[in-house]
Amino acid sequence: MRLKLGVNGERREADILSGESLLYVLRERLQLPGSKNACEQGECGSCSVYLDGTLVCACLVLAAQAGGREVVTVEGVSDGDELHPVQEAFVEAGAVQCGFCTPGFVVATHDLLCREPAPTNPEIREALAGNLCRCTGYEKILDAVHLAANRMSRP
Amino acid sequence: MRGMETVPKIPTRERPAAPVQRPGKVGEDSVRVDGVPKVRGEFEYSSDLRMDGMLWGATLRSPHPHANIRSIDTSAAEAMPGVYAVLTHEDVPGRKVYGMEIPDQPVLAWEKIRYQGEPVAIVAADHPETARLALGKIHVEYEVLEPLADAEKAMKSDAPKLHLSGNVLRHVKIKHGDPEATADVVVTGEYEVGMQDQAFLGPESGLAVPDGEGGIDLHISTQWLHVDRDQVAESLDLPPSSVRLTLSGVGGAFGGREDLSMQIHSCMLALHTERPVKMVYNREESFYGHVHRHPAKMRFEHGATKDGELVYVRARMVLDGGAYASSSMAVCLNAATFAGGPYKVPNAEIDSYLVYTNNPPCGAMRGFGAVQACFAHESQMDKLAAELGLDPVEFRIQNAIEAGDTLPFGQKLPAPAPVAEILRRAKAMPMPEEKEVMGRDVRELPGGVSNVTHGEGVKRGVGYAVGIKNIGFSGGFDDYSTARVTLSIEDGEPLVRVHTAAAEVGQGLVTLQAQIAHTELGVESVAVLPADTRIGSAGSTSASRQSYVTGGAVKAACEAVRERLFERVRDEFGEDPNKLSIQDGNVVSGGSMIVSLDELLGSDEIEETVEYHHRETYPPDENGQGDVHLQYAFAAHRAVVEVDTELGLVRVVEISTAQDVGKVMNPQALEGQIEGGVAQGLGLALMEEIQMKDGKILNASFTDYLLPTILDMPPVKMEILELADPEAPYGLKGVGEPPTISSTPAIVAALRDATGRELRRVPVRPEQLVGIAERPPEQPPQPGSAGYAEIGRLDERIEQ
Ligand code: FES
Ligand code: FES
């Protein structure tokens, strides 16, 4: 079947099989491998994307359900070459090791800071509880979220 | 079955880029060069690789842990449209078995199945789903056998032999001092460690590309390119030069990528179809596709004088190696050598057994045998201290081993060995504030937002532990790394290129290599080339060894380049090479500039390749004595926990740690290793276990195998000691493993302090904390409300 959807502000189309997930279509058919596939069952958050502005696990969304809707992936978070403050903060704070969880954390943090510009530690922990990281122990991820929040709140 | 489209005869992939970094010097914070592509989603992991015309591989795995294979019929799968190849053991061109230490593992099973998930056949198709459907069409007739799933039973003489050599793969016996020694106070304990998974987030994946001339290029995430290459070449019956490996982006490793997964399979499919073949395991398959941490059952007896001096340790450890050897031989030795812990103990009798069973193969995981031993010896230390009425930390300090003391396996402990010092430091660190439990934000109580306790029944506990770990490969292994360093001028600026085969798995080695080059050659721009087999081996990214060994190789290669450079300055300018140094791209002598590198080199380059071998180690003798290990690293941990004593739920409040690292190479990366290592230790203490029943995995998913989330991890406070090891490059010590080793027993000690329970087994489960059972029930509840990991699923899918 033919799927038409918006991805990172562009109209995109692809021929898909009916059972394919949004994650598969993004990664394999639209050449956007930034969203990651660590569990493909909604447990790790590495595939986090926006679907019409709502944070979802792309692995749990049937691609067909995304027809006619707007998807924003990690590739769409930055403004051209310019990193988004969330991305900058993850690099600077050392919140990236192997980085496989990073795209998901970047999108989820972006979502959190849009909703709550100055989150407390418990709020951050709650908001990011659906994202697994095996490398960092999360300390530097907390630092990164605070750093990004500070930068974004500056006029 | 062959499709009709044509593909270019010799497909090629561009080499991955080697971006120019501007690293800090050794000791400075250096932002990692792959950070920006990683936050943008542009970093290419092995699971992201693609090529035009590529096929997808998939693996048929045995649903049974123990079976005879009567027949395999692939005809229905071969007839499926879109299927390009279906291969079995008959198609393995060369050696039909592989293995890092002992080649005992079939590339594809024939005659016998020894564990659930063992690969039986492989398929290449034009869509991953077609490949998976084709697996369902392969008919394998099994004669199902009773699995031998208990290591103790497998050791019995009447147990069926899983391998011709018998079921005991290795027995290390350590005899030290007086075997008859007696003591005033004796404590014994039995301890168990469950099977932990590395659970790296990036699934096993790779892309094999045939070169059209019978050779193959394999892009893969692994820990050790050369040992992969040699095993792949053997099984493909190709010379190693025809098998070229390039490291692709690695999504974590922790030991789980030291063995082969789909390396040979993808190459077989690619050579057979003459097309690039990509393979990616999904999470369920990943649980079957790599080795795990050895489960262990241990019996320890310690004796001490009434003044609290250790007299002896007697230990019997049985480690379940599962179906194949993997790196079990080395794990067995490690467990034996660290059974005594970092303590002065004059008499020791230690037996460490590594046993074949029909459980999943076990091998390397962060801590490598020292984790199991540490849980036991630290539990014993607390028991002894309690028996003697001594403070558990003071008791440890009293018995702490020091440089120059002899370890139970006869090696003199080299300096520095600040065991007592790190214990003192961990104890002296300020305690976290203790807020009144009643009326707290529930997010700061055990169970958190599940809203289970509002403070009732919550008790706090504090526990300590200290661990010891060898750095680098041991027991006589010739452990080395190779580095090529090239100094040239690019666009009028000096540039250093560093090439090694060392695997960056997330730890920050690519940055570290650049820092070393900057430090040694005074050049700010450094490009670290992609790791591949165009250069000699770097050894494995394991045993906390790469900073030491590959770091040592890069440093030595830089020194060789510098020497040649200075010789040139001597020849051209008559300067004494011993007085020269490089600063900001200029050669200087006594503060005055002699010549810029730009002028000196022009279009020339200076290149040196160096193999760096560390000091020799030796295998133990028949009494388990010898200079077995290279370097020793130590960490101490203090855990503060709160337990809901009614429901057995736990909140870890804080972990503090003191660790000697010799030299801080990159502060931010070091903190990341410690925090991440602690998280894995916490996982083993509280939640992480592959649950087995009759040789079958019950929880092969992230729904049912629980990993610490950001809600579970407390702040980690640390004190870092920099006591230089005179033998090591920059005095450094490996840092990756110690944080994992003693954090587990520290947390368990804190849980014991809070609950008064014995807690002999990790991961500790709620039923242990509330005193219902010391072990999980023999008949565990059915896992997973999602129904994803039902053990029947694999059978259904394959035997329809
Ligand atoms: S891949 Fe989607 S949540 Fe894990
Ligand atoms: S950085 Fe490796 S999983 Fe998060």
Q: Chain B 202-221, CB below 8 Å of chain A: which residues? A: 202-203
CB burial readout B198-227, b (16+ within 10 A) else e:
bbbbbbbbbbbbbbeeebbbbbbbbbbbbb
B153: left (phi over 0), alpha (psi -120 to 50) or beta: alpha
SS (H, E, C) chain A: CEEEEEECCEEEEEECCCCCEHHHHHHHHCCCCCCCCCCCCCCCCCCEEEECCEEEEHHHCEHHHHCCCEEECHHHCCECCECCHHHHHHHHCCCCCCCCCHHHHHHHHHHHHHHCCCCCHHHHHHHCCCCCCCCCCCHHHHHHHHHHHHHHHCC
**Ligand 2 in contact with B506 (CB < 6 A)?**
yes
Q: Which residues contact B4 (CB under 8 A, 6 or more apart)?
A: none
Check pLDDT > 80 for residue A96: yes
CB B531 within 8 A of CB B222: no
Chains A & B: contacts with CB separation below 8 Å: 189
What pLDDT sits at residue A155?
Answer: 67
Q: Chain B 660-679, CB below 8 Å of chain A: which residues? A: 668-669, 671-672, 674-679
Bridge-based pairing of strands B83-87 and B168-176 is unpaired
Distance (Å) from the alpha carbon of A23 to chain B's nearest alpha carbon = 12
Q: Where is the domain boundary, B562, B594, B613?
A: B613
**Ligand 1 in contact with A45 (CB < 6 A)?**
yes
Mutation probe of ligand 2 site: the residue of B201, B505, B507, B709 with most atoms within 8 A of C-beta: B201
Rg over CA atoms, chain A? 15
Separation CA B800–CA B796 (nearest Å): 6
Measured between beta carbons, the chain A residues lying within 8 angstroms of B249 are: 99
Alpha helices, H only, B639-774? 667-686, 738-741, 743-755, 766-769
User: Has residue B99 been placed in a domain?
Assistant: yes
Confidence band (pLDDT; 50, 70, 90) for B322? very high
What pLDDT sits at residue B16?
Answer: 77
* Interface contact B703-A102, CB threshold 8 A: no
Residues B339 and B264 in one domain: no
What pLDDT sits at residue B793?
Answer: 43
Q: Chain A 8-27, CB below 8 Å of chain B: which residues? A: 17, 19, 27
CB B466 within 8 A of CB B417: no
What pLDDT sits at residue B786?
Answer: 42
How many Å is the maximal CA-CA distance in chain A?
A: 47
Determine how many CB atoms are found less than 10 A away from the CB of residue B102: 18
**How long, in residues, is chain A?**
155
What pLDDT sits at residue B791?
Answer: 43
Q: Which residue from A minimizes the CA distance to B249?
A: A98
CB B165 within 8 A of CB B90: no
Which CATH code, of 3.40.50.300, 3.20.20.80, 3.10.20.30, 1.20.1440.130, is assigned to A2-77? 3.10.20.30
* Interface contact A132-B709, CB threshold 8 A: yes
Residues B306 and B442 in one domain: yes
Bridge-based pairing of strands B105-106 and B55-61 is unpaired
Residues B639 and B589 in one domain: no
Query: Alpha carbon B473 to chain centroid distance?
Result: 13
What pLDDT sits at residue B773?
Answer: 78
User: Has residue B348 been placed in a domain?
Assistant: yes
Among the residue ranges B609-618, B629-638, B771-780, the one predicted with the least confidence is B771-780
| Encoded tokens for B283 | 């999470």
User: Has residue B127 been placed in a domain?
Assistant: yes
**Ligand 2 in contact with B308 (CB < 6 A)?**
no
* Interface contact B35-A126, CB threshold 8 A: no
CATH of the domain at B103: 3.90.1170.50
What pLDDT sits at residue A79?
Answer: 87
Superfamily of domain A85-153: [2Fe-2S]-binding domain (1.10.150.120)
- Looking at the CA of residue B506, tell me the nearest atom of ligand 2: 2
Number of domains forming the structure of chain B = 3
Q: Which residue from B minimizes the CA distance to A134?
A: B200
Q: Chain A 119-148, CB below 8 Å of chain B: which residues? A: 122, 124-126, 128-142
Measured between beta carbons, the chain A residues lying within 8 angstroms of B668 are: 94, 140
Q: Taking Cα atoms as reference points, which of B780, B749, B768, B756 lies closest to residue B681?
A: B749
Candidates B32, B33, B40: best to mutate against A (most CBs of A within 10 A) is: B40
Check pLDDT > 50 for residue B4: no
Measured between beta carbons, the chain B residues lying within 8 angstroms of A77 are: 40
Q: Which residue from B minimizes the CA distance to A38?
A: B201
**Ligand 1 in contact with A37 (CB < 6 A)?**
yes
Among the residue ranges B244-253, B443-452, B544-553, B680-689, the one predicted with the least confidence is B443-452
Q: How wide is the angle at C-alpha B198 spanned by C-alphas B197 and B202, nearest 5°? A: 125
**Ligand 2 in contact with A101 (CB < 6 A)?**
yes
Rounded to the nearest angstrom, the distance between the alpha carbon of A130 and the centre of ligand 2 is 14
What pLDDT sits at residue B798?
Answer: 45
Mean pLDDT in chain B?
Answer: 95
Measured between beta carbons, the chain B residues lying within 8 angstroms of A137 are: 672, 674-679, 708, 713, 716
Residues B223 and B350 in one domain: no
**Ligand 1 in contact with A132 (CB < 6 A)?**
no
Confidence band (pLDDT; 50, 70, 90) for B759? very high
* Interface contact A103-B507, CB threshold 8 A: no
Rounded to the nearest angstrom, the distance between the alpha carbon of B757 and the centre of ligand 1 is 37
Separation CA B155–CA B167 (nearest Å): 6
Check pLDDT > 70 for residue B796: no
On whether any CB of chain A is under 8 Å from the CB of B785, the answer is no
Residues B609 and B671 in one domain: no
Residues B91 and B232 in one domain: yes
For residue B55, the SS3 value is strand
pLDDT: which is higher, B674 or B778: B674
Distance (Å) from the alpha carbon of B282 to chain A's nearest alpha carbon = 7
Can you name the residues that pair with B302 across neighbouring β-strands? Answer: B187, B313
**Ligand 1 in contact with A64 (CB < 6 A)?**
no
On whether any CB of chain A is under 8 Å from the CB of B754, the answer is no
Distance (Å) from the alpha carbon of B259 to chain A's nearest alpha carbon = 19
Residues B593 and B666 in one domain: no
Residue in the block written with tokens 């003071």: B394
Establish whether this prediction's ipTM goes over 0.95.
yes
Q: Looking at residue B48, what DSSP letter applies?
A: G
Q: Which pTM does this prediction carry?
A: 0.96
Distance (Å) from the alpha carbon of B174 to chain A's nearest alpha carbon = 35
Q: Which domain covers residue B673, as residue numbers? A: 296-474+619-769
CATH of the domain at B368: 3.30.365.10
Ligand nearest to the CA of B710: 2
Q: Chain B 87-146, CB below 8 Å of chain A: which residues? A: 127, 129
The mean pLDDT of B258-263, rounded to a whole number, is: 98
CA distances from B609 to B50, B91, B510, B780 (A): 33, 39, 18, 56
Q: How far apart are the first and last CA of chain A?
A: 47
Residue in the block written with tokens 């080795």: B291
Residues B129 and B69 in one domain: yes
* Interface contact B39-A87, CB threshold 8 A: yes
Check pLDDT > 90 for residue B648: yes
Bridge-based pairing of strands B580-583 and B586-589 is antiparallel
The pLDDT tens digits of the residues spanning B555-568 come to 999 999 999 999 99
What pLDDT sits at residue B506?
Answer: 96
**Ligand 1 in contact with A43 (CB < 6 A)?**
yes
**Ligand 2 in contact with A135 (CB < 6 A)?**
yes
Measured between beta carbons, the chain A residues lying within 8 angstroms of B200 are: 98, 100, 134
Residues B600 and B577 in one domain: yes
- Looking at the CA of residue A47, tell me the nearest atom of ligand 1: 2
Hey, what's the torsion of the CAs at B64, B65, B70, B71, to 10 degrees?
60
Candidates A71, A73, A96, A105: best to mutate against B (most CBs of B within 10 A) is: A96
User: Has residue B160 been placed in a domain?
Assistant: no
Distance (Å) from the alpha carbon of A24 to chain B's nearest alpha carbon = 10
Residues B660 and B724 in one domain: yes
What pLDDT sits at residue B10?
Answer: 55
What pLDDT sits at residue B772?
Answer: 86
Q: Taking Cα atoms as reference points, which of A150, A5, A117 lies closest to residue A71?
A: A5
The pLDDT tens digits of the residues spanning B444-460 come to 999 998 889 999 999 99
Q: Which residue from B minimizes the CA distance to A90?
A: B39
Mean pLDDT in chain A?
Answer: 97
The share of chain A scoring above pLDDT 70, in percent, equals: 99
Rounded to the nearest angstrom, the distance between the alpha carbon of B526 and the centre of ligand 1 is 36
Measured between beta carbons, the chain A residues lying within 8 angstroms of B283 are: 38-41
Distance (Å) from the alpha carbon of A82 to chain B's nearest alpha carbon = 10
pLDDT: which is higher, B10 or B676: B676
The mean pLDDT of B36-63, rounded to a whole number, is: 97
Q: Which residue from A minimizes the CA distance to B445?
A: A122
* Interface contact A131-B710, CB threshold 8 A: yes
**Ligand 1 in contact with A21 (CB < 6 A)?**
no
What pLDDT sits at residue A27?
Answer: 98
What pLDDT sits at residue B785?
Answer: 41
